[in-house]
Amino acid sequence: MMLASNIKRNSWIHQVRENPNARIRLFCFPYSGATASIYFPWQEILTPTIEICPVQYPGHGNRIGEPLCHRIEALVDQAVQAFQGSLDKPYMIFGHSLGALFSFELLRAFREKGFPLPKMLFVSGHGAPHLPDPNPPIHQLPDRQFIQTLRDLNGMTSEFFENQELMEMLIPVLRADFEICDFYRYHDQAPFDFPISAYGGLLDPYVHKQDLEAWKNHTQANFTVRMFPGDHFYLNSSRIHLLQMVARDIHNYL
């Protein structure tokens, strides 16, 4: 039997606005180096039938004093028990980039433990996990090259690169997150029984439409690909369009 919701006491969920009348709980997993705050604006835009639950990784944001994870297995192990008491109502998951990969592996662990599974998984900005990663490892690059790679990714604000103190604080976080991706190894398992929607940016130089289409291999249910204007971080530049599609896809399955 599932315990009563402890979502307010779940350190992985940051600044959730509890809504007992919501029909669905949407857990939102950030990309590398990001904090739960990237999803705070979603709470103002999505309908009140959706309870937005921004996820905070260890060592990020308000959890900055906790040890960082360097392997996806460690991240999953920590999250499994933390989320058990927060799965007491119908839920879905949205994960971008690292968040897509992590949520995929977390749901495999949920299935193995017999936890309730989501009504739907949204994977964004990451190719299907069984595909080989075409990008070279970057987590061990010298600082100058690592910072230039961050500039090329176009996911950090100019204020980040102009603030030496902020960079010194966040570069270890970014390196740890990229290390998780660099060392990820896929292991074959049965596909899920819930629908998957794969989202991406039309101008993303790292993740192409065919990479997103390959997520179809991981579900026996409905599968959709949606492309949006923008690059790898289209979820920021095309936020309104994205959330319109998220809301549409959610309500199609309620």
Question: What b/e sequence results for 171-186 when a residue is b if at least 16 CB atoms lie within 10 Å of its CB, and e otherwise?
Answer: bebbbbbbbbbbebee
Tell me the CA distances in angstroms from 87 to 4, 115, 159, one per residue in order.
9, 8, 37
Distance, in Å, from the CA atom of 119 to the CA atom of 25, rounded to the nearest integer, reads 10
Residue 180 · residue 60 · CB < 8 Å: no
Q: At what angle do helices 164-182 and 98-113 cross, to 10 degrees?
A: 50
Report d(CA 125, CA 177) in Å as an integer.
15
Alpha carbons 95 and 173: distance in angstroms, whole number: 18
Enter the DSSP assignment of 27. Answer: E
97 is catalytic: yes
Structure tokens at 126: 């990451």
Give me the phi and psi of 247, to 5 degrees please: -60, -40
DSSP string of 63-110, one letter each residue: GTTSPPP-SHHHHHHHHHHHHHTT-SS-EEEEEETHHHHHHHHHHHHH
Report how many helices (DSSP H) and strands (DSSP E) the chain contains, helices first.
9, 6
What the block records as the tokens of 211 is: 């990479």
Catalytic residue among 32, 86, 97, 197: 97
Which residues participate in catalysis according to the annotation?
A: 97
